[in-house]
Structure 1
Amino acid sequence: MSTDNLSELHGELRAVARDLLAKADVGVPIDWQLVAGSGWLGLEADDEFDGAGATFAETAVVLREAGQALASGPYPAVATLSLGLLEALAPSAARDELLRDTVSGVVVPIAVVEGESALDELDQPRFRVTRCDAGWQVNGQADLVLGAPVADRLLIPAIDTEEPGGGIVVVVVEPTIGGLEVADEPVVDFTRSFGRVIADDVVVPVESVWRFVSDGGEALRQLHDRAALGVACDSLGLSEAVMAATVEYVGVREQFGRKIGSFQAVKHACADMLVQVTVAQKLVDAAVTALAAGRPDAAVTASMAKSFASSMAVDVAGKAMQLHGGMGYTWESGIHVYLKRAILNRSLYGSPAQHRAGLAARYR
């Protein structure tokens, strides 16, 4: 597809996403069947699963709009983690059926991946599986799992203790199975839901343990890159929304008989916001292109985008709060909601400091 056609496609996708996400109030999840009907869940899925056969570049467009709209619901978790994990698993009748049901919106699967984990431990799942008379027994715990409270299927990466070297598998279970607990975890950002997943001697049949197509550790690292870049897209989107709202506000708010946007200090603050958002746009676009194309530098560009965009979003939202003055703390402006979302984004799937340390390590 040519660049012009791709730009046109992204423009149409952006317009539809913006219109659809605007239908839900902040903090209220959009109807899941509307999400499924929009085709967003099948953007990266192949035709055989009723998908569009597109790439992460198209998913990134929706994630960016979700950040602008402060959208709630499990879409980011399903799009970046669950679908990415399912695609990395070996094809089977059960996997293909779950993938097809996910695309159609019949099932909401959530990958049990911690939102806060050390970057050097990405290929070490928090769960273990061992053989038992009835099949497999699962034990472990993961905190800050995005979308866990609304899942009707859980995809749990686990270490197979029976395999030499500890191979990695995925255990597919319903959250109501005996011995499994999914507890809500309160966070500063009320627009999203997180949960703690605890498996205490959970017994599952043999057919519930699925294998990866290739190396499981590498698949989990790539999955984390998707998640980190998804958060970067969200951070960029909310920053763009905050900047637009701030420029509009300083253009009408008057002080000392003048629009405050005419004050030199306010102009400088808005210019700084524009520079930061523009740099983030370039980094995110480069990372999305690399990941969508499967390039070897995808992990590096994702870390660069995540470290800058998530840090930038906190700075921009904080500056917007200052420029709105007392109005920024009220429900009328909603700026404080953007700030809370940005603060949580900063720590999800690797903090800026963690990603920068990983990038610096490449040059030692």
Structure 2
Amino acid sequence: MHDVDLAERRERVTMLRDSAAALVPADGDLRRVRAWRFAGNGLDAQAWALVCEMGWPGLRLAEEQGGSGLGLCEYVALLEELGKGLAPEPLNEVACLVSLLPAEWREPVLRGERLVLPGHGAGLVADHQGRLLGQAKVSLGKAAHGWLLMNEDSAWLVDAQGLEGQALATQDGGHVLALALNGVPAQRLASSPEQLRRVRDEAALGVAAYLLGCMQGAFARTLDYLKVRKQFGREIGSFQALQHRMVDLHIQIELSRALVEETAACLDRSVAPGEAQRRIYATRVQAGDAALRVCREAIQLHGAIGYTDEADIGLFLRRVLVAASAWGTQGGYRQGYARLIAEEAFNG
């Protein structure tokens, strides 16, 4: 029975990877990505409708709630494929928070009729009338119908209609909406700190998977470039020094892949919360560091043209710089990992 389950899971993973071609052209064409840089509210409505039509926002959601009930192994495989083509759609943000939404919001979100995006706040508190005070930032917040704002132990749903914030442009062509909340009506969600921690942990793993895809896309383009660019009458890919650099980058990619896939498999087996967090923190740090290194060196290996905005290779670093700060920073995950290790040593 176990072999049958494993074969079915592999088949689902393959199908999801193949389905990503709907947003990620096989030839690596990034014209759609370029077209949506700094454009409108940052969301390609047609592409997002396709995402919802394929049921991706509900991949992790239980079937009785209208989702597919799939595991993290399938989920991270899809995000990896989307990362290869720098797909800008906020799938990870929506798929991780949809389980927290009340039915009247969850169902239209799954159908693509509404969009709710997560925000992370500073000093978020609700007054005695249930109105929200504090500050928050929401990636692509201008495109959303609602914002799900979180602190460490609470979450509130805010209807974005009629509300405004300051849109701050990000390097990848999107934006972050900065919100100053002065008594905004909000619905406090019935979510426990454990549920919120799980949402943040799974989102962090999703970011790591997306970053894995980004570094693979950058690596593949660089490898192709080294095979055609010539100096001194030879393809520069034949130079041993450059081959060694590419090997080092490939090792970083494979280390990241191993951690992403193993962590997803462990969480699907429902390991203890402490072990799950430790694995997620380690995976997130490795993927973030590796993606930044791979994309920076990919630009260097392209030479001077790699630093121009016309060169597609630069889009990978810009996207990674933004994605690597989603759901927490590299430094924050390092500190979290160190804290968990110290706690294990103290309690062991």
TM-score class normalised by the smaller sequence: 0.7 to 0.9
Correspondent of 1:338 among 299, 312, 316: 316
For the pair 1:131 / 2:128, whether they are aligned, the reply is yes
Return the offset for 1:193: 3.2
Mapping of 1:6-25 within 5 angstroms? 6-22=9-25, 25=32
Cα-to-partner distance string for 1:165-208 (whole Å, 9 max, x where unaligned): xxx5433221125xx43321222221x4321122111245xxx3
CA distance in 1, matches of 2:324, 2:151: 26
For the pair 1:184 / 2:184, whether they are aligned, the reply is no
Cα-to-partner distance string for 1:207-248 (whole Å, 9 max, x where unaligned): x33322xxx323322222122212111110000011111111
Structure 2 residue identity aligned to 1:174: D
Residue of structure 2 equivalent to 1:198: 180
Structure 2 residue identity aligned to 1:70: L
Residue of structure 2 equivalent to 1:356: 334
Structure 1 residue identity aligned to 2:198: Q
How many residues align? The count is 324
Mapping of 1:115-126 within 5 angstroms? 126=123
Return the offset for 1:331: 4.5
SS in 2 for 1:21: coil
Correspondent of 2:239 among 263, 277, 291: 263
Structure 2 residue identity aligned to 1:269: R
Which is worse superposed, 98-107 or 261-270?
A: 98-107
Q: TM-score with structure 2 length normalisation? A: 0.86
Structure 2 residue identity aligned to 1:175: A
Which is worse superposed, 338-347 or 9-18?
A: 338-347
Structure 1 residue identity aligned to 2:123: R
SS in 2 for 1:188: coil
Mapping of 1:239-278 within 5 angstroms? 239-278=215-254
Q: What's the RMSD between the two structures over aligned residues? A: 2.2
**Contact 1:314 / 1:339 at 8 angstroms: preserved in 2?**
yes
Correspondent of 1:101 among 95, 108, 120: 108
For the pair 1:38 / 2:21, whether they are aligned, the reply is no
For the pair 1:170 / 2:170, whether they are aligned, the reply is no
Return the offset for 1:9: 1.3
Structure 2 residue identity aligned to 1:149: K
Return the offset for 1:158: 6.1
Change over 3 Å in CA distance of 1:50–1:211 after alignment to 2? closer
Unaligned runs of 5+ in 2: 37-43, 343-348
**Contact 2:154 / 2:193 at 8 angstroms: preserved in 1?**
no
Change over 3 Å in CA distance of 1:292–1:99 after alignment to 2? farther
Change over 3 Å in CA distance of 1:271–1:256 after alignment to 2? same
Change over 3 Å in CA distance of 1:181–1:291 after alignment to 2? farther
Residue of structure 2 equivalent to 1:142: 136
Correspondent of 1:210 among 189, 196, 208: 189
Change over 3 Å in CA distance of 1:321–1:357 after alignment to 2? same
Structure 1 residue identity aligned to 2:172: D
**Contact 1:73 / 1:147 at 8 angstroms: preserved in 2?**
no
Unaligned runs of 5+ in 1: 87-94, 115-124, 160-167
Please identify runs of 4+ aligned residues in structure 1 that moved more than 6 A. Answer: none
Change over 3 Å in CA distance of 1:183–1:292 after alignment to 2? farther
Cα-to-partner distance string for 1:139-169 (whole Å, 9 max, x where unaligned): 11113x223221101223369xxxxxxxx54
SS in 2 for 1:2: helix
Mapping of 1:277-292 within 5 angstroms? 277-292=253-268
